[in-house]
Amino acid sequence: MKPLKGRVAIVTGASRGIGVPIAMALARRGIRLTLAARSAELLQQTAASIRASTGAHVLAVPTDVTQPEAQDQLIAATLAEFGSIDVLINNAGIVQPAAYEGLALDELEQHLAVNLAAPMALARRVLPHLLAQNRGHIVNIASLGGLLGIAWGESYGATKHGLVGFTRSLRMSCKVSATQVSASVVCPGFIDEVGMYADTALPHGHRAPFVLGTSSPEAVAAAVIRAIERDEPEVIVSSRPVRALLMLGALSPRLLERLCIKLGLHSVFERTARSQGRGR
């Protein structure tokens, strides 16, 4: 899917965090937008800001992505407003660093529902529309945590690994079906200004390890655009060359494990968990 101008995109988690710059970047490409998030007030503020900055046609639909009825209403509202769906950006997600045994079962279920089940369900709902028009792209926002093991982040890591695996399989199904529909996964590392790192880790002085570094929200937005325009299977967003680390892990998982511990890749999650009284 090359040209974006005039297309229609749904962006979940669009009221805050990296959802806002992602939506803004799409609008600047001439895409018409449906923004989805739970907070109606924040969603309307985001929609107004995008309209004022870009002149884009923006629809705000308050949505709890974990609820099947809300998912149906989101799709129906988009089709009623625009007549088609071309792009789905599954961005909504939650994270809670903690000792795994200290997570409540309802927290675990919520992580699975928001981070994995909802993106899979929304993709299932939009696919018939994309396939019927033989055009479209699904972008799932995962994490470096979906490619590496994360100490103190078992439920987050599991859901993001699941999202990476789901995207790879969905993309392969599209390729062997000879359709112009496709899928990509974007895997950011630590992000400046917004999200867990900025909201929870930095205020306590917990900084990303040098080997991972941080990236800007705009870098994630640019990665989403690149994934769609170039039909990239997977885009890692990091200020460091982490692919070499991932390749090493594929060759020697034990060596990667030792390196991750030595380099302190777990430090932000562990210290954040302890700061919140959720350590071990």
Kindly list the domain boundaries of the chain, sorted by start residue: 8-191+214-240
Q: What residues have CB less than 8 Å from 54, skipping those under 6 apart?
A: 24, 27, 28
The predicted pLDDT at position 195 comes to 77
Low-confidence ranges of the chain (pLDDT < 50): none
Q: Is 156 a catalytic residue?
A: yes
- pLDDT value of residue 81: 98
- The neighbouring-strand residues paired with 156 are none
pTM recorded for the entire structure: 0.94
What pLDDT does 201 receive? Answer: 76
User: Could you say which of 82, 152, 156, 269 is catalytic?
Assistant: 156
Q: State the fold for domain 8-191+214-240.
A: Rossmann fold (3.40.50)
The Cβ of residue 38 has, within 10 Å, a number of other Cβ atoms equal to 16
DSSP summary character for residue 197: I
Which pLDDT belongs to residue 1? 54
User: 3-class SS at 233?
Assistant: coil
